[in-house]
Amino acid sequence: MEIALGLKYVGAGLMFGLAAIGAGVGAGILSSKLIESIARQPELEDQLRPTYFLGIGLVDAVPMISVGLAFYLLFVA
């Protein structure tokens, strides 16, 4: 029984950690591509910015789902 409890904590920790790493990498790539696009064509900045914010929102939604599932795993399952 103690092994199962320990594995539950390890699984939740992995979910927290991998979600944070994935969000950081995704946001970094998205931001670098925005800066690169604006540097290439500055006149498109007003069109690129809303798409960037939509993308950042989607990138940040996935870790929130993972954190919710990790809390479910810790406290309910």
- 77/5 Cα distance (integer angstroms): 11
Q: Mark whether 60 is an active-site residue.
A: yes
C-alpha 13/C-alpha 38 separation (Å) is 38
Which residue stretches of the chain are H helix? Answer: 2-40, 45-75
Closest CA to 19 of 60, 75, 76: 60
Among 6, 35, 58, 60, the one annotated catalytic: 60
Coil, strand or helix: which one is 76? coil
**Where in the sequence numbering do the catalytic residues fall?**
60
